[in-house]
Amino acid sequence: MDHNNNIDFKDLWKKQTVSQPNIEDLLARLKQFKKAGLRNLWITNILLFATCVFIVSVWFYYQPEFISTKIGIVLAILAMVIYLGFYNRLASTYKNIDATQTNQEYLQKLILIKRKQQFMQSTLLSLYFVLLGVGICFYLYEYTLKMTILWAVFTYGITLLWMGFNWFYIRPKQIKKQQSKIDELIAKFEDVNNQLQS
Amino acid sequence: MVFRTIKQFYKILRMEFEEIYKTYWDRIFRLCMGFVNDYAIAQDLAQETFVIVWQKLDTFRNESSIGTWIFRIASNNCLRQIEKDKRFLKSDLPINLTEEKQQSLEPQIQFLYKCIAELPETERIIISLELEDIKQAEIAKIVGLSEANTRVKIHRIKEKLTQKFKENGPQ
């Protein structure tokens, strides 16, 4: 076959030892496979949903009088709903990516998904922090009015300090950590995709 | 009545799947092995492929041949492995776990798989399919290239392999 050098690659290729696992083992693995992918999705959903329920129950229980308090609550919930909505949609695209396309189409889909993930972990994460921060500031207003000036300044001071810490320390760190991983993957997938163009 | 029909449908599907599993396991395993050159990971990738095949079997329409369909799933799954690979490298797993199994293999076979796994990703897939005796028109359909382009690529990859065997191949 490979007459130029008498090496029969096909023959060598097929001599690889292969052991076929039991079909029952394979089907048992199916269940494991389904479970593993969903765990993170469930945890995030439950946590954010529980927080939303908690915030809403605060509204009903304490009956805030000011519109600013209500706006604050709505903004905080909006932040979580937007993030969750995007996260769930991305997870479902990722899970349902059609594996029966050509390699080229499949690679392009993978790149697209990674780009969306990149957007989620940078722009959307920042939006989440801004909405949540503004929401909390609005929410606090009604209650700080009932305090003495000193306590009100102290409360806002501590809150803003905490938000600043999140915005200037936690957020960039989080973005940097995940971004370099995703950037690397996008570059790799693009490199593989380019192999097909040349 | 409906329940019985569903049960029957499942039974037919299951029989069909078993047939596919018997026919294609070896071929899919070798494709994965050519991609990663690691017995345990290849076994995992092949299993994942068949899990997807089982999940998607009822959506298969005879637009393409079943072989093309399965090889597309398998090669795409190999490409997705790139993502896991990154995670894999970061956690320090013992590397010598799978080495023992391969020692009994003839050095020439081992060398061939090693050379293939060192090629660029898409070339690994293309040459593996070629060595599985899949028609070039089918390979083009799996990878998403034109037939002419596929032919050129196969030719080049074979040249590369021959070269490697000439230079460092075991006698």
ipTM for this model: 0.83
Contact between B39 and B101 (Cβ < 8 Å): yes
pLDDT in the model for residue A2: 43
Helices assigned H by DSSP within A120-170: 125-144, 149-165
Residue of A125, A135, A120 lying closest to A173 (CA atoms): A125
Q: What is the pLDDT of residue B144?
A: 94
Which residues does chain B have within 8 Å of residue A105's beta carbon, measured at their own beta carbons? 144
| Chain A interface, best mutation among B72, B134, B136, by max A CB count within 10 A | B72
Residue type, B22: K
Report DSSP state, residue B98: T
Q: pTM above the 0.80 mark?
A: yes
Q: Does A21 touch chain B (CB under 8 A)?
A: yes
**Total Cβ atoms within 10 A of residue A127:** 15
Specify the residue for token string 């013992």: B94
pLDDT number for residue A174: 81
Please give the pLDDT value at position B165: 87
Residue labelled with tokens 């805030």:
A64
Greater confidence (A6 vs A75) lies with: A75
Q: Tell me whether A20 touches chain B (CB under 8 Å).
A: yes
- What would the mean pLDDT of A129-137 be, rounded to a whole number? 93
Indicate the SS3 state at residue A98.
Answer: coil
Q: What is the pLDDT of residue B30?
A: 95
Q: How far is CA A70 from CA A38, A58, A64, B77, B164, in A?
A: 34, 11, 7, 49, 71
CB A54 within 8 A of CB A114: no
Q: Does residue A190 contact residue A111 with C-beta atoms inside 8 Å?
A: yes
Report the residue of chain A nearest B34, measured CA to CA.
Answer: A13
Asked whether the beta carbons of residue A26 and residue B145 sit closer than 8 angstroms, the reply is: no
Compute the distance between CA of residue A95 and CA of residue B38 in angstroms, rounded to an integer.
26
Greater pLDDT, A3 or B83? B83
- From A153's Cα to the closest Cα of chain B, the distance in A is 46
Given an 8 Å threshold on Cβ–Cβ distance, is A33 in contact with B51?
yes
| Mean pLDDT for the stretch of residues A65-82 | 93
pLDDT of residue B96: 44
Q: Using 50, 70 and 90 to split pLDDT, how confident is the model at A38? A: confident
CA atoms within 13 A on the CB side of B53: 30
| Contacts for B13 with CB less than 8 Å, ≥ 6 apart | B57, B58
| Residues of A whose CB is below 8 A from B76 | 99-101, 103, 106
CB B67 within 8 A of CB B130: no
* A158–B contact, CB cutoff 8 A: no
Q: How many CB pairs under 8 A join A and B?
A: 126
Residue of B79, B108, B123, B128 for testing the chain A interface, max A β-carbons within 10 Å: B79
Buried-state track B89-105, b at ≥16 Cβ within 10 A, e below 16: eeeeeeeeeeeeebeee
pLDDT at residue B16 in the model: 87
Q: What is the pLDDT of residue B97?
A: 45
Q: Which of A2, A8, A14, A18 is most worth mutating to test chain B (most B CB atoms within 10 A of its CB)?
A: A18
The single-letter code of the amino acid at B18 is E
- Segment among A131-135, A181-185, B71-75 with least mean pLDDT: A181-185
Tell me the nearest-neighbour CA distance from B139 into chain A, angstroms.
10
Q: What is the pLDDT of residue A35?
A: 67
Per-residue pLDDT of chain B (171 residues; tens, 9 = 90+): 677 788 888 888 888 899 999 999 999 999 999 999 998 899 989 999 999 999 888 888 777 789 999 999 999 999 998 887 654 443 334 444 444 444 455 888 889 999 999 999 999 999 999 999 999 999 999 999 999 999 999 999 999 999 988 887 776
The whole-angstrom separation of Cα A9 and Cα A1 is 8
Give B87's contacts (C-beta < 8 A, 6+ positions apart).
none
pLDDT at B94: 42
Average pLDDT over residues A90-114: 90
Contacts of A26 in chain B (CB under 8 A): 21, 47, 50-51, 54
Answer whether B54's CB lies under 8 Å from A30's CB: yes
A9-34 residue pLDDT tens: 888 898 888 888 888 888 777 777 66
At B111, which amino acid appears? F
